[in-house]
Amino acid sequence: MNLDMTLREHGATGLTMQGNVIRCALPRAGVKSLARLLLSRFALDLELMLANDRRPRRGGFEVVWLWADRSRNEFLEITAAVPDHDPTYPSIATLSYPASRYEREIRDLFGLRAEGHPDPRPLVRHGFWPETYHPLRKDSAPPGDFPDQGQPFPFQQVEGKGIFEIPVGPVHAGIIEPGHFRFSVDGETIINMKTRLYFTHKGTEKLLEGRRPAEGVELAERISGDTSLGHALAYCQAIESLAGVQPPPRAAFLRVVLLELERLYNHVADFGAIAGDTGFAVAQAHALRIREGLLRLNKRLTGHRLLRGVLVPGGLSRDLPADGALAREVEAALADFEEVVAACQANSMLLDRLRGAGRLTRPTAADHGVLGYVARASGIDRDARRDHPFAAYGQLKFRVPVLESGDVEARALIRVAEVRESASLIRQAVEGMPAGPVGATPGPLPAFASAFGLVEGWRGAILHWIMAGESGGLHRVKVKDPSFVNWRPLTFALLKNIVPDFPLCNKSFNLSYSGNDL
């Protein structure tokens, strides 16, 4: 069935095609039946779902669904109006698990109800916020003081003979952010695990409202500290798309170099940390040594160990010395890392801990919309660098590694394979680096039009959706970090594992509290 015909049959109006993005408006009554067809017949992926307060101009709200067709590198953006006097819309949570989380988030932050949602519990909402406080409404004011009423958090209870609960967090022994895990165990075997997050909710999307486009980069870089470049790039690409500006070719190649450097230092450190959680401390020490060298390389190249301050809408803030010396240093780090990998693969005790631990099956991963190396380790062949090329990736050759076992070993080996591909991509980008400027000046942003930037960060796909207001400032920014969809599947990976393997499984996912909590 033709997609255009299907949209019109469901009442779509205002159909437009801009580049590879189809946009249309849809009556809210047709949302669920259309979503069912998009997921089944057209095999589209729900990339993002968000709400937008348009009451000042349109007298109501909007809900937006962004769908992706990986096979054709096309997107479909659907907008449905939600009137202020009836702030409801049909839920598609029973069709898509990621949608269920987006719908809960929308209810907390905007007060719009997804009718028919099977689990309307709060997601982002602080336990003691006033019921009428929805912070992303344009007329929302600070709620003032609100006391802790002392009610327990409604964790699901698992009962039975010999079943015990083990609470972990939210404050942890290491220097990490807060998150609460509650295990139900039979002896040492985990039979259920519930996670409570959003202790670090920062109101990032609210903080972006009203900023000038160039001012948003600094905040985007701080959404998740280990993904400074990935989030900044997604944000800049969204601004560039809306402004209709194309970064110069040299900037596109330099962006590949920077994004792969971020992937390198994180994957190297993660592989070492996984080895360290099995007791192989020497391997972790060497991985951290290599990571430190890569961070110092980042500093020499850009002036910042985490690659901050170099990306701007339109390209880069300055040219970078990405030459043969850079490629050789990366190759030396790769050779050093290969020795660590070989030592780990020769360690039978380490392999025994990794194989079969924390297995996430492909159907479970697909149902949850899992992204990044977690998805690829469970047999899902998905990578935005190839499926939706950006920067200069369409001009470079690389392989997307995919494994099927879905266990800790697979997630570790995917990282190793991606380190090799990153080194290759950096070498190719340096060798093919064109001369010329590294920046273009974006023009004014059209008021109340939308655009997005999609980037394959080191954890997985990052998406920034933006809309500008009449004054040229940002009216609405929606951010999706891969951790938003990857946290919940960790529960399934832990089932039937023993409690001492939780740190190992958790590290193999390496999810971001800050990226999820925003």
Report pLDDT digits (tens) over 343-359: 999 999 999 999 999 99
Contacts of 377 by beta carbon, 8 Å cutoff, 6+ apart: 360, 403, 405, 406, 407, 410, 411, 413, 414
pTM over 0.85: yes
Report pLDDT digits (tens) over 377-393: 999 999 999 999 999 99
In order of start, what are the domains of the chain with their CATH numbers? 3-115 (3.30.460.80), 204-517 (1.10.645.10)
Question: 150 with 487: CB under 8 angstroms?
Answer: no
Tokens of 383: 């990578």
Exposed e or buried b per residue across 58-76, where buried means at least 16 C-beta atoms within 10 angstroms of its C-beta: eebbbbbbbbbbbeeebbb
Tokens of 244: 């209709």
Contacts of 141 by beta carbon, 8 Å cutoff, 6+ apart: none
Report pLDDT digits (tens) over 275-301: 999 999 999 999 999 999 999 999 999
Which pLDDT tens digits describe the chain residue by residue (518 residues)?
589 999 999 999 999 999 999 999 999 999 999 999 999 999 999 999 999 999 988 889 999 999 999 999 999 999 999 999 999 999 999 999 999 999 999 999 999 999 999 998 889 987 788 888 999 999 988 888 887 777 777 777 888 888 999 988 888 877 788 899 999 999 999 999 988 899 888 999 999 999 999 999 999 999 999 999 999 999 999 999 999 999 999 999 999 999 999 999 999 999 999 999 999 999 999 999 999 999 999 999 999 999 999 999 999 999 999 898 999 999 999 999 999 999 999 999 999 999 999 999 999 999 999 999 999 999 999 999 999 999 999 999 999 999 999 999 999 999 999 999 999 999 999 999 999 999 999 999 999 999 999 999 999 999 999 999 988 899 999 999 999 999 999 999 999 999 999 989 999 999 999 999 98
Predicted local confidence at residue 1, as pLDDT: 59
